[in-house]
Structure 1
Amino acid sequence: MLGTTELRARQLPLPEPGQAQDVEVADIASALSAIEWDFGPIKARRGGHGFVLASGTGALHLAAGETAIEAPCVIWLPSGTTGSVRLDAGARGAMMTVSDAALGRVVPASSIAGPLRQAIDRPLLAVRLEPAAARAVLRDLEDMRREAIDDLPGMREAIMSRLCLVLIAFWRLGGGAVAQPQASPRVLVQGFMQLVELHARSQWRIADYAGAMGISSDRLTSAIRRATGQSPLELVHRRLLDDAESLLERSSLQVSEIADALGFRDAGYFNRFFSRQKGISPGRYRQQAMRLRAGRDGSYAAWP
């Protein structure tokens, strides 16, 4: 129910073209009467609902009882939560609805993935936050709405990035920022290698891997070297080199195309990287692989 409060909503097209809309963001502007949202069983199954209030009061009604709302605060109702949110006249902020599909895609592949997914499944019942923090989250929501309006290249990626920031803010408010016991070197190595599989071709820096794992670059380097005898950069290079060798041996892609597939900025840079690692150029490596394969098969005919 919208009452007389002004809501300016904008559906945000996060999925690929042809799929259903996944996110809706609306401004909650000041008004002369109360406003209420009723999340019955049908609406509750459509995804999660979030409210970020900069000012105002109200009440949250769930099966467990009533919770008073006093801004600045955050409300997050996971998918399947039934109840209602009532805001008194004068409330200001924003609300969003996020489908389960979008929530499944937005969680980053990193060390916080598990805790963040768990946080998304837990409600935040009018959790208080500092005014500056409320303004920061509201800016992210407004940026999501503007991205959809402007419809510039990279819009979906920009919206997903901002949605992730909003959900991380919710996670922290729910206790996700509480310091956890430090992971063992073995666990760190496993997490690092998983990220390398996902992001080596994106040419992530070691600082990017450390940041995704929530640790310093020095700690990551120390753990990796202690467990493997190699530096994180050496392991990333080894992964890229394995991919490069496989593509040179088993594909008909040009060297420049392989360089692009592996995330190198140009073929020259890839040639220097490969030659430094293998002591031979990519072209020579491919020729040698062809000769070896021809020797096994009896001819060059089997080469793609």
Structure 2
Amino acid sequence: MNRSGLDIEIERINSALSTSEWDFGATRQIASGRAFVLVSGAGEYALERANSSIEAPCVLWIPTGLGGRVRLNAGARGIMMSVADGVLGRVVPASLVAGSLREAIDRPLLGVRVEPNGARSLMKDFEDLQTENDGDLPGRREAIVSRLSLILIAFWRLGSAGAKLPQASPRVLVQGFMQQVELHAREHWTITAYANVLGITTDRLTTAIRRATGSSPLEIIHQRLLDDADALLEHSNLQVAEIADTLGFKDAGYFNRFFARAKGKPPGRFRKDVIEAKGMADISYSAWP
């Protein structure tokens, strides 16, 4: 049962005794993109004018709108995923590589050979996606979108055959990083995750941010969380534990230590001081003629 509301279907392939076959039309309005990861066995595909045999370990990506057939021999093992066109349009991350990724998922990836460990790793990614899709955990939809995005990035990399990413200017990198921090600071992403979204190494990200701001990426992220904490402590009625949860801290004690280390006082003391300072200001204002 698909609980997420996203039109994604995943099917394990274990053709022990007979062949398996998938036929799909080219009508874009109803079609889906299809991915196959084959960890063992062999087969063939026929896609419009392209016909060829395939042998594991390999990957196929057949984009929306491309009609044809995939046939796997008895003994083949792997996994297949079908993703509706509308879902694909929503999972491409807003980043420097978005344009390249959109172009990549519109191109077929036909029987590209991968290392055995790479095929097994991709199959595990599909299985994890299926588990999330069939489950009922909080944040399920967001987790599915994130996992699917990573799978599509893996396919894009395979199709790029080692092509280098376009090098963005430091100014663009800084702007992109700041935008991602606004979106994901409360999710407590690692610096590596930010670098991956921007399509650069962590070293390059750190250098660009430090040169532009004088701070490290981690310091920028922490300051964003502290600014949000200040605002919530001053302007909301949330308890400290509730603020910690709102800001993505799994443990209120860790939030207290994080805040006190930066501010020199715990959040409860900070809030009390703010209230007292406001009271003193009100008294002084009322004494004005």
> TM-score when scaled to structure 1?
0.74
Counterpart residue number, 1:58: 44
Counterpart residue number, 1:239: 224
1:284 and 2:272 are equivalent in the alignment: yes
CA distance in 1, matches of 2:212, 2:84: 41
| Consecutive unaligned residues in structure 2, runs of 5 or more | none
Contact 1:59 1:85 in 2 (8 A): yes
1:26 and 2:12 are equivalent in the alignment: yes
Counterpart amino acid of residue 117 in structure 1 = R
Question: Secondary structure of the equivalent of 1:27?
Answer: strand
CA distance in 2, matches of 1:41, 1:205: 41
Q: 1:29: how far off? A: 1.0
Structure 1 stretch displaced more, 120-129 or 266-275: 266-275
Counterpart residue number, 1:4: none
Question: Secondary structure of the equivalent of 1:80?
Answer: coil
Contact 2:15 2:73 in 1 (8 A): no
**Count of matched residue pairs:** 280
Counterpart residue number, 1:222: 207
Contact 1:24 1:96 in 2 (8 A): yes
Question: Secondary structure of the equivalent of 2:35?
Answer: strand
Q: 1:90: how far off? A: 4.9
CA distance in 2, matches of 1:154, 1:257: 17
Q: 1:243: how far off? A: 1.3
Q: 1:266: how far off? A: 4.0
CA distance 1:79–1:39, change in 2 (3 Å): same
CA distance in 1, matches of 2:115, 2:76: 17
Which one of 182, 185, 195 corresponds to residue 197 of structure 1?
A: 182
Which one of 159, 163, 168 corresponds to residue 174 of structure 1?
A: 159
CA distance in 2, matches of 1:249, 1:277: 17
Contact 1:46 1:79 in 2 (8 A): yes
Question: Secondary structure of the equivalent of 1:75?
Answer: strand
CA distance in 2, matches of 1:58, 1:37: 11
> TM-score when scaled to structure 2?
0.78
Counterpart amino acid of residue 55 in structure 2 = A
Which one of 110, 113, 129 corresponds to residue 128 of structure 1?
A: 113
Counterpart residue number, 2:234: 249
Which one of 172, 186, 190 corresponds to residue 187 of structure 1?
A: 172
Q: 1:189: how far off? A: 0.9
CA distance 1:102–1:141, change in 2 (3 Å): same
CA distance 1:83–1:229, change in 2 (3 Å): same
Contact 1:25 1:141 in 2 (8 A): no
Question: Secondary structure of the equivalent of 1:86?
Answer: strand
Q: 1:27: how far off? A: 1.4
Task: Encode CA deviations 1:78-104: one digit per residue, 9 max, x unaligned.
Answer: 222223333455544332211234434
Q: 1:201: how far off? A: 1.3
Q: 1:127: how far off? A: 2.5
Counterpart amino acid of residue 253 in structure 1 = L
Task: Encode CA deviations 1:183-203: one digit per residue, 9 max, x unaligned.
Answer: 322122112111211221122
Counterpart residue number, 1:69: 53
Q: 1:170: how far off? A: 1.4
Question: Secondary structure of the equivalent of 2:50?
Answer: strand
Q: Cα RMSD (Å) of the superposition?
A: 3.5
Question: Secondary structure of the equivalent of 2:238?
Answer: coil
1:206 and 2:194 are equivalent in the alignment: no
CA distance in 2, matches of 1:29, 1:293: 77
Counterpart amino acid of residue 66 in structure 1 = A
1:78 and 2:63 are equivalent in the alignment: yes
Counterpart residue number, 2:25: 40
Q: 1:182: how far off? A: 3.1
Contact 1:44 1:81 in 2 (8 A): no
CA distance 1:207–1:97, change in 2 (3 Å): closer
Q: 1:259: how far off? A: 2.1
Contact 2:195 2:202 in 1 (8 A): yes
CA distance in 1, matches of 2:207, 2:93: 24
